[in-house]
Structure 1
Amino acid sequence: MAGARGRRARGRADGVSAEPRPLIVVLHGPSGVGKDSVIAELRKRTGIHRATSSNSRPMRDGEAQGVDYHFFRREEFERKIEADDFIEYANVYGDYKGLERREIDEPLAEGKDVLIRTDLQGARTLRGLLRGAVFVLLTAESREALRARLTARASESDESLARRLAEVDAELADAPNNHYVVENREGALDDAVEELAGIIERERVNPDREPAGVR
Structure 2
Amino acid sequence: MAGARGRRARGRADGVSAEPRPLVIVLHGPSGVGKDTVIARLRERTGIHRATSSNSRLKREGEVDGVDYHFLTPEEFRRKIEANEFIEHAQVYDDLKGLERRELEGPLAEGRDVLVRTDLQGARSLRGLLRGAVFVLLTAESREALRTRLTARETETAETLARRLAEVDEELADAPNNDYVVVNREGALEEAVDELVRIIERERGNPNREAAGVRA
Question: How far 1:64 moved relative to its partner?
Answer: 1.3
CA contact (8 A) 2:24 2:116 kept: yes
Equivalent residue runs for 1:43-62 within 5 Å: 43-62=43-62
Query: Partner of 1:200: helix, strand, or coil?
Result: helix
Tell me if structure 1 keeps the 8 A contact 2:10–2:178. Answer: no
Helix, strand or coil for the counterpart of 1:26? strand
CA contact (8 A) 2:132 2:210 kept: yes
Contact 2:9–2:178 under 8 Å retained in 1: no
Counterpart for residue 63 of structure 2: 63
Q: How many residues align?
A: 209
> Bigger CA drift: 169-178 or 151-160?
151-160
Q: Which residue of 2 aligns with 1:196?
A: 196
In structure 2, how many angstroms separate the alpha carbons of the residues matched to 1:164 and 1:192?
A: 22
Counterpart code for 1:38:
V
Q: How far apart are the structure 2 equivalents of 1:72 and 1:154?
A: 29
CA contact (8 A) 1:4 1:179 kept: yes
Instruction: Indicate the residue corresponding to 1:180 in structure 2.
Output: 180
Q: Distance in 2 between matches of 1:28 and 1:119?
A: 5
1:212 alignment counterpart: 212
Offset of 1:162 from its aligned partner? Answer: 1.7
**1:49-198 maps to which residues of 2 (within 5 A)?**
49-93=49-93, 95-198=95-198
AA aligned to 1:29 is: G
In structure 1, distance between residues paired with 2:154 and 2:93: 26
- SS for the counterpart of 1:127 is helix
1:39 match: secondary structure = helix
Distance in 2, matches of 1:6 and 1:183, equals 16
TM-score by length of 2: 0.90
The CA deviation string for residues 47-104 of structure 1, in whole angstroms up to 9 with x for no partner, is 1111101123333332212111112333333322222111112244554321110000
1:4 paired residue among 8, 12, 23? 8
**1:127: Cα distance to partner?**
0.4
CA shift, 1:8, in A, is: 7.0
Structure 2 counterpart SS, 1:128: helix
Is it true that 1:39 corresponds to 2:36 in the alignment?
no
- Give the direction of change, closer, same or farther, for the CA distance of 1:94–1:191 in structure 2 (3 Å limit): closer
TM-superposed CA distance for 1:18, in Å, is 2.8
Amino acid at match of 1:23: L
Stretch deviating more after TM superposition (26-35 or 158-167): 158-167
Change (3 A) 1:22 1:105: same
**What CA distance in whole angstroms lies between the structure 1 residues aligned with 2:158 and 2:89?**
31
Residue 123 of structure 1 deviates from its aligned partner by 0.7
What's the RMSD between the two structures over aligned residues? Answer: 1.9
Distance (Å, rounded) in 2 between the aligned partners of 1:210 and 1:44: 27
Deviation of 1:163 after TM superposition, in Å, equals 1.5
- Percent identical among aligned pairs is 76
Tell me if the contact between 1:32 and 1:149 (Cα under 8 Å) persists in the aligned partners: yes
Aligned letter for 2:152? Answer: A
Residue 145 of structure 1 and its aligned partner are, at CA, apart by 1.2
> Partners in 2 of 1:154 and 1:58 — Cα distance?
23
Question: How far is 1:168 from its partner?
Answer: 0.9
State the TM-score, normalized to the length of structure 1. 0.90
